[in-house]
Structure 1
Amino acid sequence: MSTGMHRRERLTTAANPDARHDYLIILAGEPRPGVRLEVRYVPDRWIVEPAGFAAYLDALADLPGGLEALALAALDDVNNELVPRWAEVRAEAADPVPHRVVVEDRQPGWDNPHFFARLERL
């Protein structure tokens, strides 16, 4: 079993209570001291259970590489487990200098301009 598969198993999911609507879910935490990871997504069929996200953060603690590797691994894991309509992952650290990595992905053909206009204000 690959390390990625082991991490992904911790992202426990539940059925989306109403897949007819586009809505935003935000989960955040610290996989390592001084590093903040935020996952924002529009669910399709599945949502991440908060307890599963907390366990997932623990699995990311020993991921090799910098913030770029962390953000890309988290995006890959979320895409594989949830297949969200849209997802964005932010990884941030303040030491030794402020550093932020933002990656995003969306399902082909999905777009909601009104949603993205509101999202800019969040």
Structure 2
Amino acid sequence: MRRERLSTRPSPDARHDFLMELRGEPLPGVRLTLRLVPDLLVPDPASVLAYLAEFAGFGEGLEALAVAVLDDVNNELVPRWVEVAVESDAPLPHRVVIEDRQPSWDNPRLMERLPPP
């Protein structure tokens, strides 16, 4: 299973909110940006690269890709907040952004500082 490729390590300090951003190409010509505010676990960047390689041949569209990554990250990491952006320029510019957060989490000051993906 592709989720098994996502390895984690303990957050250096779960008392504080911090933003992580990882980027990769799960498919040729498809760019993926994963932004998250970890809770107890942070992803190992090398494992995210191996995880994204599992999508080779994924032909269900950008929307399905974004939902699959969101579901996997939520299940393996349980972040406070997560955003998945997937985009491609061919055959025409197409971008999908999906996000989720833990029900009780909110940090408006951090969210205001987020640069556009």
TM over 0.5: yes
SS, match of residue 49 in structure 2: helix
Partner of 2:90: 95
Q: Aligned residues: percent identity?
A: 61
TM-score (norm 2): 0.96
- Worse-matched range after superposition: 60-69 or 25-34: 60-69
Which residue of structure 2 aligns with residue 69 of structure 1? 64
Count of residues paired in the alignment: 117
The structure with the largest helix share of the pair is: 1
Q: 1:59 aligns with which of 51, 54, 74?
A: 54
Determine the structure 1 residue equivalent to 2:78: 83
Candidates 8, 22, 31, aligned match of 2:26: 31
Structure 2 residue 114 is matched with structure 1 residue 116 = no
Hey, what's the Cα distance between the residues in 2 that align with 1:106 and 1:37? 19
Q: CA deviation at 1:116?
A: 0.9
SS of equivalent to 1:56: helix
Matching residue's letter, 1:58? A
Equivalent residue number for residue 3 of structure 2: 8
Query: Where does structure 1 lack aligned partners over 5 or more consecutive residues?
Result: 1-5
| Aligned mates of 1:82, 1:100 — CA distance in 2 | 24
Shift of 1:36: 0.5
TM-score, with normalisation over the residues of structure 1? Answer: 0.92
In structure 2, runs of 5+ residues without a counterpart are none
Going from structure 1 to structure 2, the CA distance change for 1:85 and 1:38 (only over 3 Å counts) comes to same
Root mean square deviation of aligned Cα: 1.2
TM-superposed CA distance for 1:63, in Å, is: 2.6
3-state SS of paired residue (1:60)? coil
Change (3 A) 1:121 1:31: closer
